[in-house]
Amino acid sequence: MAGRSTADGGTSAPASRTDRVPTNSLRANPHNPRVLFDREPLRQLEESIKRVGILVPLTVYQAAGSQKYTILDGQRRWMCAQNLNLPTVPINVVAEPTTAQNIVTMFQIHKLRKDWELMPTALKIEVLMEEIGTQSDNQVALITGLDSAVVVRCKKLLSYNKEYQNMMLEANPKDRIKADFFIELYPILHDRVLRAAKLPDDVIIRRLLNKYQRKKSGLKSITDFRKIKAYVSIAKAAGKEDTMVRRFTDFVHDDNMDISELEIDTAKIHKQATTATRDAKKLRIWLEELEIDSFVGEEEFWRELERLMVIIKKSIKNADRRIV
């Protein structure tokens, strides 16, 4: 049931009949992936409805055994109507969908609008996966119209327990922990090297959340968690995993330890040497295959090679290496 977006935040949809009914004869959809409605956008919509009314009817269905209509599309308009004490609202009535159809319809109706908060979306994806019997990222993306990357992010959020999920569902935006915090933290919790620290996930989450909220240990942005992953990768390549585990354990517990202290100097040097070795090898191969006659007139090129040769010889001598 595809719809078209409209100026007052509604979506028109095909319906079996159109009515005007008491505002209190409707109810919110229990399968609406959107459960967070911040006050400021609602206030703006209320102002619009005050001026011109509800231009597009709400799309609803009547569940078997229920005296009220359930909203498929238009919950924000209905909430504004309640706040404005409007006695009636216009509705389009459609047939009752199945649970899976209900969730999928709501995803498809809203997919061209501003994204929902990710945690509520994840919770409905969880229900949908149970209903359709698959956890395939691509299949869920195809059915809902969501990008497969969004589905992957939602599934990461579902790995957290209810306490942390509820932090992302706080009604007040000021108290709400953004889903991006937990998504950026996810690779840290599941890193093979760091798991050797045997720190409970709950301890890591609470301590790093505390550091982030209080701007401790140099954690100024959620993307700083990517630095930890980078330091781990460098340590792993240098065979310094045990050292990294010890430093990470200290970092989790010590608010005075800066994130930069996770970087192991010897591991950093090893990575730089590896990179320089790769670049030197590329240069050597290129020079071996160089058609010298074609470059005879490139004076600056030859002068730069001469400078490079002097530096190379000096570095080799200082390292007490024999010049071949």
Convert the pLDDT of each residue in 30-70 to its tens digit: 777 666 666 676 777 788 888 778 877 888 888 887 888 89
Collapsing DSSP to helix, strand or coil, 228 comes out as helix
Residues 6+ apart with CB under 8 A from 153: 118, 122, 179, 183
Q: How many residues does the chain have?
A: 324
Name the residue ranges covered by the structural domains of the chain: 4-112, 117-175, 178-266, 290-324
User: Residue 11 — pLDDT band, cuts 50, 70, 90?
Assistant: very low
Residue 36 confidence (pLDDT): 62
Q: Which residue has the tokens 């781990």?
A: 232
Range from 11-15, 49-53, 110-114 carrying the lowest mean pLDDT:
11-15
Question: What are the residue ranges of helices labelled H in 94-222?
Answer: 99-110, 118-132, 137-144, 148-157, 162-167, 179-189, 192-195, 201-214
Range from 90-104, 152-166, 185-199, 223-237 carrying the lowest mean pLDDT:
90-104
Residue 4 confidence (pLDDT): 39
In angstroms, the CA 90 to CA 54 distance is 7
Cβ-based burial of 236 (10 A; exposed 0-12, middle 13-18, buried ≥19): middle
Tens-digit pLDDT profile for residues 123-144: 888 988 988 888 888 888 877 8
Q: What is the CATH number of domain 4-112?
A: 3.90.1530.10
108: enclosing H helix or E strand: helix 99-110
Single out the residue of 91, 74, 66 nearest to residue 32, CA to CA.
74
For range 260-277, the mean pLDDT: 75
Cβ-based burial of 199 (10 A; exposed 0-12, middle 13-18, buried ≥19): middle
End-to-end, the C-alpha distance of the chain in Å comes to: 76
Q: Which residue has the tokens 């390292």?
A: 319
Cβ-based burial of 119 (10 A; exposed 0-12, middle 13-18, buried ≥19): buried
> Do the Cβ atoms of 176 and 170 come closer than 8 Å?
yes
